Structure 1
């Protein structure tokens, strides 16, 4: 493993643990949570995948996972927890069915401004409180592609992705600056919100957002 990769892995682990601490400072035992953005697990799955699911502290019956990919077998791997697959768009749950929604680094993958706002509003609709995170576009290293600075310039970044990381384009990776994130949350159905800038060596690396549906 290269030195750069080791540094990146350490950064990501630091970030994941920091965000879990933030969430658990708000979440209370006995409350229910919908984990939005669950991926299927295999025997070779990396520890970082479904980090919240694997590190959930409370009774499994208070946890529900939601994902767009097939989740067959997940309930066998994680007894007591519930998993639901959907095709995107409206969530298959009733209004305020959950006390919390947790979603780590998913919203930047759901599409354009309109799709991201719909995603946030659906999280708000099905819960009383939302905690979600997303990378800061203007952190020097882009966490999905490991490029330095290029992601600060959309045209150059997506042209580079087309040649080097074809899984990513404007529809599958649309990063947030603080200003754009704040603007979107203000347009959402949230009655109140707070945005936290999670820093590494003084630089905002990710954002954590808490929203209340009053």
Structure 2
């Protein structure tokens, strides 16, 4: 979920404005948005909950709000006051939420709940399971995407290849002064196996690749939950 602007901006250190990283991130998120439309099939009346929007306003952030043709049907949530987000997307309803991964909505409040590049930042596998369970509680369909750890370059640090193992990633972060990214409370590198282990009971799950298409090394993974 979005945090204070100073922390939120750290998620885009490898995708600075007008950089190659921003262009690649933007291209990946366009494909993610296309897969969201293809798999979830929202219509003009579908209500959508977007969990964990960013208060960083750039071409790589908040893809749903940038591209979805019915922004007035979106409710967004995050941890901060989100002044910049609300100014950029005035048609989108915004709710500030607590950091305990619980959502302040009644069961079945939305047609779809979605999040992009959020699940890996909630602090622990237990919190990840709770967030997915909450999204499944408040929406009929859930569509979640995460950066894929087996993409050749790690998304947050731009470290190549050494992030394929936890030990290698910790070593690289220490050598490059990026130790905070090796801490679980800041980042859990996500694989297909780790994502599959989080599926809440009672839901049909589909896992797949999205983002920049590189076969088994594609940039992102998706999890689709349906009743």
Q: Report TM bin, short chain.
A: 0.7 to 0.9
Is 2:62 the partner of 1:12? Answer: no
Return the TM-score normalized by structure 2.
0.81
Number of aligned positions between the proteins: 203
- By relative contact order (CA 8 Å, sep 6+), the higher-ranking structure is 2
- Specify which of 54, 69, 73 is matched with residue 39 of structure 1: 54
| Equivalent position SS for 1:103 | strand
Task: State how far apart, in whole Å, the 1-side matches of 2:33 and 2:192 are.
Answer: 21
Gap runs ≥5 in structure 1: none
Once the two structures are TM-superposed, the CA of residue 207 in structure 1 deviates from its matched residue by: 0.6
Gap runs ≥5 in structure 2: 1-17
Conserved? CA contact 1:124–1:190, under 8 Å: no
- How do 1:150-169 and structure 2 match up within 5 A? 150-162=162-174, 164-168=177-181, 169=183
Once the two structures are TM-superposed, the CA of residue 92 in structure 1 deviates from its matched residue by: 0.9
Alpha-carbon displacement from aligned partner over 1:28-86 (angstroms, at most 9, x marks no partner): 22100011111225xxx32212222122211x331111001222464444233210111
Once the two structures are TM-superposed, the CA of residue 155 in structure 1 deviates from its matched residue by: 2.8
Task: State how far apart, in whole Å, the 2-side matches of 1:47 and 1:182 are.
Answer: 30
Change (3 A) 1:165 1:190: farther
Is 2:147 the partner of 1:145? Answer: no
RMSD: 2.1
Return the TM-score normalized by structure 1.
0.85
Q: Which residue of 1 aligns with 2:218?
A: 204
Task: State how far apart, in whole Å, the 2-side matches of 1:31 and 1:118 are.
Answer: 24
Change (3 A) 1:78 1:13: closer
Task: State how far apart, in whole Å, the 1-side matches of 2:58 and 2:22 are.
Answer: 12
Alpha-carbon displacement from aligned partner over 1:141-189 (angstroms, at most 9, x marks no partner): 101111011111213323443552244222111011111211222xx14
Is 2:65 the partner of 1:50? Answer: no
